[in-house]
Copies of this chain bind each other. A is one copy, B any other.
Amino acid sequence: MTEPNAAAIAATRETPEARHRALLWQIVDDYSLIGIFVVLFAVLSMTVQYFFSWDNVVGLALSVSQIGMVACTMMFCLASRDFDLSVGSTVAFAGVFCAIVSNATGSVVIGIGASLVAGALVGFVNGAVIAKLKINALITTLATMEIVRGLAFIASHGQAVGVTSEAFFTLGSAEFLSLPVPVWVTLACFVVFGVLLNKTIYGRNTLAIGGNPDAARLAGVAVDRVRIAIFLIQGLVAALAGIILASRMTSGQPNAGEGFELNVISACVLGGVSLMGGRASISGVLVGVLIMGTVQNAMSLMNIDAFYQYLVRGAILLIAVLVDQLKNRRQSR
């Protein structure tokens, strides 16, 4: 799943036709979801006016930039058979906290730093409670979701916190090679976490833990430490997303990111990350995020009625997974 197996297959197969068939199917398996996305994109480009324009593509990328960042870490979380509902709250809290600290200290850098530390702390608490006290991840992160959201409201008195320093806004609005900074950050996240997943012990251990935590422990994987790290990094990245969002909006908003967690998790699952753990691919997650964003974008462009948008969103979600699952039918018996 993690990377094309085609070459490996070719090396050890038995008969030439079997080898060919296996190779072909493996390619279908590895790239089916990407194919779905390409088709979707092509069809939309041809049928929806303005869809295939630089402006729109950038807009699309911006609209999924927060989800994209956090989806990278959520992928790790799900791959290790965990679950994190607290990311939406962390996004909100980080934005508010960054704004407050920046205003208080007059330094945006301190604000950002403090906010990142706070996000990492939230993640650490999640991880420690889940790994060490062995409390169900759903309940734990539901609890921190509430608590952190509460902190965001308390810190901001329920009001958006404007940032006085103009420097802060460049983070969200500056462009580099005609792509806005948030998009670059998201791309960087995909690269970094893709490498982490596929090329490092951390990523491999994450997958092993998700595949079979007991076996991983007996094989000498520091299960607790890895799980804590996963949540900590997730908190950190969620905080980063929150800071960037605040910068884009020029204020920290305590009610930002509601429902964010479900969107992120859906994007991951759509991208083939198994909720049962052990299976994840960064390209899948990327495509999952893009499909979600593209559908929403196209619907706005097509001026689809708000109520009917619900239907379309639901239907697309179903169709995308359905097409992707067809490959499994073949394997099932």
Contact = CB atoms under 8 A, between A and B. Distances in A.
Interface in A296-323: 306-311, 313-315, 317-318, 321-322
Contacts of A143: 313-315, 317-318
Interface stretch (A15-23, A165-173, A221-229, A264-272): A264-272
A266 B321 CA distance: 26
Given A150-B307, A266-B142, A314-B145, A135 B275 contact: no
Contact of A310 (B129, B140, B150, B307): B150
B265 A153 contact: no
Given A146-B317, A325-B133, A139 B307 contact: no
A308 B154 contact: yes
A144 interface: yes
Interface of A: 85, 129, 133-136, 138-140, 142-147, 149-151, 153-154, 158, 262, 265-266, 269-270, 275, 306-311, 313-315, 317-318, 321-322, 325, 328-329, 332
> Do most interface residues of chain A lie in helix, strand or loop, or is the interface mixed?
helix
Contact of A136 (B136, B142, B321): B321
A148 to B, nearest CB: 8
Contact of A150 (B138, B266, B314): B314
A228 to B, nearest CB: 17
A138 B269 contact: yes
Contact of A139 (B146, B151, B270, B306): B270
A315 B266 contact: no
A97 to B, nearest CB: 15
A138 B310 CA distance: 17
Nearest to A139: B321
A146 B158 CA distance: 29
Q: Chain B CB within 10 Å — which of A314, A315, A322, A325 has the most? A: A314
B317 A142 contact: yes
Nearest to A157: B307
A13 B309 CA distance: 60
Given A138-B266, A150-B307, A158-B307, 14 more contacts: A133-B322, A133-B325, A135-B325, A136-B321, A138-B265, A139-B270, A142-B262, A143-B317, A145-B314, A147-B310, A149-B310, A150-B309, A151-B310, A153-B310
